[in-house]
Amino acid sequence: MTDLAWIEGAVVAARPQAMAALLRYFRDMDAAEEAFQDACLRALKAWPKNGPPRDPTAWLIMVGRNAAIDAVRKTSRNAPLPPEELLSDLEDAEAQAAERLDGSHYRDDVLRLLFICCHPDLPATQQIALALRIVSGLSVREIARAFLVGEAAMEQRITRAKARIGAGDAPFEAPGPVERTERFAAVAAMIYLVFNEGYSASGRALEARGGLCDEAIRLARLLLRLFPAEPEMMGLTALLLLQHARSDARFAPDGTAILLEDQDRSLWNRKMIGEGLALIDKAMLKRSPGPYQVQAAIAALHARAPRPEDTDWRGIDQLYATLEIMQPSPVITLNRAVATAKVRGPEAALAMIEPLSARLDGYFHYHGARGAFMLQAGRRDEARQAFDRAIALANTAAEAASIRIYLDRIAAEAGKTSHSA
């Protein structure tokens, strides 16, 4: 096989559990990361020749652990390095190795690791950033983009958090019930950011990172078992399910993103939607609203609309207004502006996002939304400038392609106008 995309996808999907298990073995974040990277390099060598292993996660854990142990032995000269074939070719031993793994630890190591990363001795920003880096393998650039901060600042946060845990200030033991409750908010936020990283991917990146959405939902369900009466946990799980239910309709065959109002709703996963709607309805009965419940309620209004024109945009606008009060954020205001444009027109939406220009000037979606509102308002030249800025900030080819559709439309309309003149 020459196409290595399937290896990338398998490694990305396996990383959370593999890293969690390796950290449990070594109790050192740098050692666990090095072991995982070594296992990935060996996978690039062995898998194209031998095909994918039956359990890629178990393969990476066993190879990573063996490689790290051998590195220690080689450094200390306590034992000779075993032959390469014993480390890289696990075809015969793979099933037995998987059986030897502790089933409960192997499955729930990730959730345990999340709680360790979210230790209260670490500042909240370091907790979530560290968990995203260690558990999900997101790059510093990807994490910085999620937090809307610079890469250098995010690198410092992660380095400080790893140093503090490495110094022993934050223990590796799994927390008890009280400590889990204290760390709930940080773990929930991390799970949501992991989901968003998978959800925002497209094309080949979607193949590699699509598993992050499934992993985030799995972790959310595990967390819901720990907090079965927590309405915000119900809201978070509902939100992930309702958003992920639209996955099959979000992209055209060529990888171009399809706007929500243009999606084929027959492709939406109705079983997933039903589960999400039941959870958010149950959460709202608790009468203890929170940000995740409000976001899930917004997603539910979209899911309940049989056609785009049936969408309750006024209700969505009101929910976003509530979310702005609970969790003030320029991105939330930007999202609300989409609903405002539907309810009160594009000029009202432009007035709403104008104060955000300084904070979101480097944000692709800000300029894309601004261009769309200007185009709706008939301000074609200003729309073109906004779209040009958006393309310059695009993070993926799919994002750039979605903006070029608008620019082509503007060019076509300009051509018609000049021809008629």
**Residue at which a domain ends, from 172, 205, 238:** 205
Residue 124 forms part of a structural domain: yes
pTM (two decimals): 0.70
Q: According to the model, what pLDDT value does residue 190 have? A: 81
Q: According to the model, what pLDDT value does residue 87 have? A: 42
**Residue at which a domain ends, from 174, 205, 236:** 205
Among 187, 12, 17, 191, residue whose Cα is nearest residue 104: 17
| Judgement on whether residues 132 and 68 belong to the same structural domain of the protein | no
| Judgement on whether residues 74 and 170 belong to the same structural domain of the protein | no
| Judgement on whether residues 163 and 78 belong to the same structural domain of the protein | no
What H or E segment, with its residue span, contains residue 369? Answer: helix 364-376
Residue 93 forms part of a structural domain: yes
Q: Is the dihedral of CA 166, 168, 171, 173 positive or negative?
A: positive
What H or E segment, with its residue span, contains residue 341? Answer: helix 330-344
**Residue at which a domain ends, from 71, 101, 131:** 101
Residue 381 forms part of a structural domain: yes
| Judgement on whether residues 120 and 81 belong to the same structural domain of the protein | no
Residue 234 forms part of a structural domain: no
What H or E segment, with its residue span, contains residue 97? Answer: helix 94-100
Residue 257 backbone phi and psi in degrees, to 5: -70, 140
Residue 236 forms part of a structural domain: no
Residue 230 forms part of a structural domain: no
SS3 annotation, 38-91? HHHHHHHHHHHHHCCCCCHHHHHHHHHHHHHHHHHHHHHCCCCCCCHHHHHCCC
CATH number of the domain at 375, please.
Answer: 1.25.40.10
Residue 328 backbone phi and psi in degrees, to 5: -55, 130
Integer Cα distance of 34 and 40 in angstroms: 10
| Judgement on whether residues 31 and 71 belong to the same structural domain of the protein | yes
Residue 314 forms part of a structural domain: no
Q: According to the model, what pLDDT value does residue 240 have? A: 97
Give the count of domains, the chain: 3
Q: Is the dihedral of CA 299, 304, 310, 313 positive or negative?
A: negative
| Judgement on whether residues 117 and 197 belong to the same structural domain of the protein | yes
Residue 409 forms part of a structural domain: yes
What H or E segment, with its residue span, contains residue 235? Answer: helix 231-244
Q: For the CA atoms of the chain, what is the radius of gyration?
A: 24
Range of the domain at 333: 329-420
| Judgement on whether residues 129 and 141 belong to the same structural domain of the protein | yes
pLDDT along the chain (421 residues), means of 10: 69 81 80 88 89 87 86 60 46 37 48 75 78 76 78 87 70 63 81 80 50 82 86 96 94 81 94 97 94 97 96 97 95 96 97 95 94 94 94 85 88 66 51
Q: According to the model, what pLDDT value does residue 89 have? A: 43
